[in-house]
Amino acid sequence: MVSVIVPTLNESAQIATSLSALQEMRGSGHEVILVDGGSEDGTRDIATPWVDRVLLSTAGRALQQNAGALEARGDTLLFLHADTLIPPEAMVEFLDGFPASRRVWGWFDVTLNGSHFMFRVVETLMNARARLSRITTGDHAIFVKRVAFEKVGGYPEIPLMEDIAISRLLKGEGRPFCPGRRIVTSSRRWEEKGILRTILLMWRLRLAYALGADPRRLARAYYAPPRPDDP
């Protein structure tokens, strides 16, 4: 059984689209759990018909995902961002291929939904970086066997880079499984802040984290709105 855990915070614009793609697997006996961090835009009401359970949690992806894992019944946990869509063929490959692989964790390659040609470059670099380093981000929909998740202690409860942190821990549990089919994730972050600016920001934050910077300081930089005079 797979438990899909979806952390949300004010995701009413896209949550129904993402959850609707999970209904076939849900009908096959798997479960979908939405963990809301205090949305004020009706996210929970929209999501309720599409999920098995709605949980409330303190805001923060690490906290929310750990809360969902505690309540999940599946022996495999799949952590899915609210703005990410898993096409049916990718889900089938995951459901068939992950158990057969005998590996304990993995992720999907991604396609960004924006049409700008630079998004093709960005997604190619994202996928290559993850496969080469075996360090991935939440955009890739990390999945893990419950026993391995519990062994590493779940997501480190930090305000940013929790996906990088758990990837580092899971690397010690063996090679990841990566389905050939891609999932589709939103390009809104790059569109809102600018493609080049976002790329440079993320690389700067990842480098700072690797050098030991406080994730709280990095989170403030990540979520800060762009200044009007930014290039």
- DSSP result, 37-91: S--SSSHHHHHGGG-SEEEE--SSHHHHHHHHHHH---SEEEE--TTEE--HHHH
Interatomic CA distance for residues 203 and 219, integer angstroms:
14
Interatomic CA distance for residues 198 and 50, integer angstroms:
32
- pLDDT at position 223: 83
Across-strand partners of 33?
5, 53
Q: Which fold has domain 2-187?
A: Spore Coat Polysaccharide Biosynthesis Protein SpsA; Chain A (3.90.550)
Residue 31's identity, in one-letter code, is: E
Phi, psi for residue 110 in degrees, rounded to 5: -120, 155
- Number of residues that make up the chain: 231
Query: What is the tens place of the pLDDT at every residue in 39-62?
Result: 999 999 999 999 999 999 999 999
- The strand pair at 31-36 and 53-56 is best described as parallel
So where are the chain's domains? Answer: 2-187
C-alpha dihedral, 172 to 178 to 182 to 183, nearest 10°: -40
- pLDDT at position 151: 98
- pLDDT at position 200: 92
In terms of Cα–Cα distance, which of 203, 2, 153 is closest to 91?
2
- Chain centre to alpha carbon of residue 193: 20
| Low pLDDT (below 70) residues in the chain | 225-231
- pLDDT at position 231: 44
Interatomic CA distance for residues 133 and 98, integer angstroms:
20
- pLDDT at position 88: 95
- pLDDT at position 193: 85
Based on the number of CB atoms within 10 Å of its own CB, is 77 exposed (0-12), middle (13-18) or buried (19 or more)?
Answer: buried
